[in-house]
Amino acid sequence: MISYPVSFVGLPIGNREDITRRALAVIEDADCVCCEDTRNTGRLLAHYGISKPLLSLHEHNERARCVEVAQRAAGGEKFAVVTDAGMPGVSDPGYRLVHELQKCGVDYTVLPGPCAVVTALVGSGLPCDAFYFGGFLPVKSGKRQRVLQNALQAGCTCIYYESPYRIAATLAELAALDPDARVCVARELTKLHETYHRGTAAELAADFAAHPHKGEMVLLINVAKTPRDEECN
């Protein structure tokens, strides 16, 4: 196995079996694991029978920690970088550290792993040939409506992370803009209660208004019929 000073490692988004043999080997081989929450990651690693020194790297200490990790890696320590779930850097810390490593000339690699965006896209049944990922939807209604308006004109599948506390309001806003838009809410992916809610914006707005569904969710929107749709007919 080629060994890098720093390895970014994708972790499960719910189902602990979704981890590669290489991910476990790289974490086992590291001198230190950088993670968002040392308690969460400590528990997960214990499940795999791994015990490692943990170093917190989260949005509040990211700037200083990235400099520290790059310097220590340049000095010969090996790091595995993980987040609480999924791929580092995707709506999670990672981007800044990649830049710092590039700046310092420290070699790194990325181990592919679970990611809620791609899992939801494939399961949604909406076209996967072209897609746009917009991260978390804005919390403020005015900004969110502008983002939703753009999604309705994008001409490809648009994907957003959304809070279970706002999803009903977001679907209502979307239905007001275009009741016939094709929508999917992918909920609790890879977990016991994994569910894909599929339908028009109006149908899903009515469903979520009547039943306050809980859990982690991804919102997918597509209005345009694409050549891939024709292939499936």
Question: What is the binding site for ligand SAM (CB under 6 A)?
Answer: 13-14, 83, 85-87, 90-92, 115-117, 161, 186-191, 216-218
Burial of residue 76 (number of CB atoms within 10 Å: 0-12, 13-18, 19+):
exposed
**Residue 105 CB, nearest approach to ligand SAM (Å):** 27
28 or 216, CB closer to ligand SAM?
A: 216
Provide, rounded to whole angstroms, the least separation between the CB of residue 69 and ligand SAM: 18
Contact predicate 70/79, CB 8 Å: no
CB of 16 to ligand SAM, least distance (A): 12
- Looking at beta carbons only, is 77 or 133 nearer to ligand SAM? 133
Token reading at 53: 């020194």
Q: What stretch of H or E contains 200?
A: strand 195-200
Q: How far is the CB of 114 from ligand SAM (least distance, A)?
A: 7
The H or E element that residue 231 is part of is: helix 227-232
Q: Torsions phi, psi of 225, nearest 5?
A: -75, 130
Task: Return the number of the residue (34 or 72) whose C-beta is nearest ligand SAM.
Answer: 34
**Alpha-carbon dihedral angle through residues 141, 143, 144, 150, given to the nearest 10 degrees:** 140
Tracing tokens 């049944």 back to the chain, one arrives at 125
- Measured from the CB atom, the residue of 218 and 223 that comes closer to ligand SAM is 218
Minimum CB separation of residue 139 from ligand SAM in Å reads: 13
Q: Which is nearer to ligand SAM, 72 or 187 (CB)?
A: 187
